[in-house]
Structure 1
């Protein structure tokens, strides 16, 4: 099943690249939180949903590009969570830092994660306690987190935050890299970065695949009160996450 989901992520990514590399018309609108959404997001979402239905017809799907009533979803302990174009701002800026995110939640825990970066043509994936990076189709290697004497912090390129500035003041020695989308989780998972502190709002579809991949590679994703991120739909009042940090152990 993981191989099929990887193929599906690539398929959605290739569709996104058709728009990215051409002058095809982009229909841009804005959500209630003022974040952009385009026809490309919706097209990628449709590709992924159709593919998942063929793979697991009885498992429900939560996509960023749909509206859901949590009262209807609350009994879903097993479900797919997808962000078809994570980093729409980066897509519109054409800096290449956007991804396709697909995650399987089982018993409210992310157990299978796939993140595909179409411009880089790099695919990260995980299942349970194993994580991989694939630069070319068929050339897959296992990845694992790695500590560093001077940690590299990856922070959001598009979401500056005053709490983050204060957090950085309390750290003596560090390097910093600004990066869009869920690639921040991936850099930690493959040992190239060590900490991703997040204070601004995210939704569960923004974090699930990265959460699965990072934990499978030996890292952690915790709230600032030291709890795992919550993917239980029965206990939530919205899809919004609290602040968190992703890091090596």
Structure 2
């Protein structure tokens, strides 16, 4: 199938790159969609798939989603389009994709402003300093009274060629948080097992490995320095002094 066989899932963005003219055309999506480039220089996205006839792949019914009254379901989405040089593209689309995915959720309720300000905390930050611009705070969740689950993600790739943003990040967690850190335990990504207890199979590749990856530091130093390679995610259980909470 020349069309369906060349459609791929687009979870956050799709782009066309012209290295000869140093131009990149990027489209950011607000949800997962289908995407393809069926001709040179073309790009298309399938926001919603609706079939009025069975596609003969075994289901025996058409993929025809409707409202309660039988009319066809209409899907509305939002796309952001970027046109930039190849060198600037990653700095633009990676940060913007994070802001689209992590956009604030607005909630409304009947209340008088003085009463709301008196009973509710309107601002809060557990950070004393910002994270490096290439590091994303993926998870910050209360684990128990004194411990939080923390996931940090380096969301740039080496091939992005975004200067220092594409390089490894090395920073102090103690300098980032306001509260003194008592201890840190690195976990597997699912936060079910301490990393030091994980035993993995070791394979000997044919030939020599290309490139090298610096091993993750063990966080034994007082500053709790964290090393993140490009596209790396690390998970920690961070224990603070007893007075700490997420507010």
TM superposition score normalised by structure 2: 0.22
Q: Which has the larger radius of gyration?
A: 2
Query: Greater strand percent: which structure?
Result: 1
